[in-house]
């Protein structure tokens, strides 16, 4: 039998009350503030879950999401996060790593870098950081660690695999491409990030709204194209929490349309395009 169409000509009916309940649940659990205009997008993403679970109404589905004994809360979040990313997105931040951070840490003499990619999606951001660091021969003996976190368990699993279609790494410089191993046989057309890259990165699930187990300090925190989905008080609170985990002189890097409200970040000062440096402690 084909899909059952509701009176609105759709497979499932999503009432105003259903949509508002979805928005409230998503915001409470992840901070993601879905606008009223995103109804079609939300419908498209969640109907896959209704079909997979053989449910007929959003009401039944949302009861499952709210049921602490059911395991649907995770799939609900995974379905509604936006995971768009790419290698070397907003490239100026990787130049900052190379041209400012590394010389500054070299001058400090610590030979150690701790970098957090918060909201790392499938891993393009932490792999871009790892590629940048791994292609600097002078760092070959440094202690380099990248923490990559996201709320979405599916993207983290992909990140841990570190597998890319060849065409996605084709534009990288040859010395960076050499840090991937090419698939053969059934894996032809794929490339896997090599040990040097994968060993630098630890992927962990972390909801930015909840407690953070790390005490820092970090040299750099990337949180790009994540807080854009949050409301103003949540953004301000996060920027304050990020700045308290940076060492003095460490950088917070935000996405192209994001900036911290000055009042929320007394410890930060602007340091170039969407880059903010933690001031020395007073």
Half-sphere exposure of 221 (CA within 13 A, CB side): 28
Task: Provide, rounded to whole angstroms, the least separation between the CB of residue 125 and ligand SAM.
Answer: 5
d(Cα 154, Cα 147) in Å, to the nearest integer? 17
**21 part of the active site:** no
H/E element holding 166? helix 166-169
**Between the CA of residue 51 and those of 4, 26, 58, 205, what are the distances in Å?**
11, 20, 11, 27
Q: Do the Cβ atoms of 182 and 151 come closer than 8 Å? A: no
Closer to ligand SAM by CB, 169 or 226: give it: 226
Residue 176 CA to residue 128 CA, distance in Å, equals: 10
Q: How far is the CB of 268 from ligand SAM (least distance, A)?
A: 19
Active-site option among 21, 45, 74, 177: 45
Q: How far is the CB of 90 from ligand SAM (least distance, A)?
A: 7
Task: Return the number of the residue (82 or 264) whose C-beta is nearest ligand SAM.
Answer: 82
Q: Which of 150, 152, 224, 278 is catalytic?
A: 150
Least Å from the CB of residue 281 to ligand SAM: 28
For residue 148, the number of C-alpha atoms closer than 13 Å in the C-beta half-sphere is 28
Q: Least distance from C-beta 10 to ligand SAM, angstroms? A: 27
Nearest to ligand SAM of 11, 161 (CB atom): 161
Cα-based distances in Å from 52 to 17, 45, 79, 155, 201: 22, 12, 12, 19, 33
Complex with ligand SAM: residue 43 or 222, whichever CB lies closer: 222
Q: Is 60 an annotated catalytic residue?
A: no
Q: Which residues bind ligand SAM (CB under 6 A)?
A: 30-32, 81-85, 89, 119-121, 124-125, 150-152, 155, 207-209, 224-226, 255
Phi-psi region of 42 (alpha: psi -120 to 50; beta: other; left: phi over 0): alpha
At residue 272, the 3 state secondary structure works out as: coil
Nearer Cβ to ligand SAM (55/87): 87
* Residue showing tokens 């000509």: 9
Show which residues are catalytic.
Answer: 45, 150
């Amino acid at each position: 039998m084909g899909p059952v169409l509701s009176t609105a000509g759709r497979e499932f009916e999503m009432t105003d009350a259903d949509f508002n309940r979805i928005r409230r649940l998503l915001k409470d659990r992840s901070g993601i503030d879905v606008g009223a205009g995103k109804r079609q997008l939300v419908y498209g993403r969640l109907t896959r879950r209704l079909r997979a679970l053989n449910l007929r109404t959003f009401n039944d589905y949302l009861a499952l999401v709210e049921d602490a004994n059911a395991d649907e809360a995770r799939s609900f979040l995974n379905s509604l996060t936006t995971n768009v990313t790419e290698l070397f997105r907003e490239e100026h931040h990787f130049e900052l790593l190379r041209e400012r951070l590394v010389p500054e840490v070299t001058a400090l003499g610590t030979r150690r870098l701790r970098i957090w990619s918060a909201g790392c999606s499938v891993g393009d951001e932490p792999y871009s950081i790892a590629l940048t660091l791994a292609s600097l021969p002078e760092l070959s003996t440094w202690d380099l660690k990248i923490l990559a976190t996201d709320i979405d368990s599916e993207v983290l699993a992909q990140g841990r695999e570190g597998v890319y279609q060849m065409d996605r790494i084709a534009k990288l410089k040859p010395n960076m491409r050499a840090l991937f191993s090419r698939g053969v046989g059934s894996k032809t057309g794929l490339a896997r990030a090599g040990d040097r890259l994968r060993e630098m990165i630890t992927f962990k699930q972390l909801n930015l709204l909840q407690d953070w187990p790390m005490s820092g300090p970090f040299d750099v925190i990337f949180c790009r194209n994540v807080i854009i989905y949050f409301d103003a008080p949540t953004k301000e609170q996060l920027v304050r929490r990020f700045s308290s985990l940076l060492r003095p002189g460490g950088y917070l890097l935000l996405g192209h349309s994001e900036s911290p409200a000055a009042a929320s970040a007394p410890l930060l000062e602007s340091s170039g395009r969407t880059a903010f440096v933690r001031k020395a402690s007073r």
